[in-house]
Amino acid sequence: MIKRAEEKDIAAIANLAAMMWSNHSAEELNNEFSELYRKEEAQFFLKYENDIPVGFAQCQLRHDYVEGTETSPVGYLEGIFVKEGFRHKGYA
**Cα of 66 vs its chain's centroid, Å:** 18
What value does the mean pLDDT take over residues 39-67?
Answer: 92
What class is the 2-82 domain? alpha beta
pLDDT tens, position by position, 12-32? 999 999 999 999 999 999 999
Q: Give domain limits for the chain.
A: 2-82
- Res. 40 pLDDT band, cuts 50 70 90: confident
Cis peptide before 53 (omega within 30 of 0): no
pTM beyond cutoff 0.85:
yes
> What is the structure's pLDDT at 92?
87
For residue 41, pLDDT over 90 is answered with no
What value does the mean pLDDT take over residues 35-53?
Answer: 92
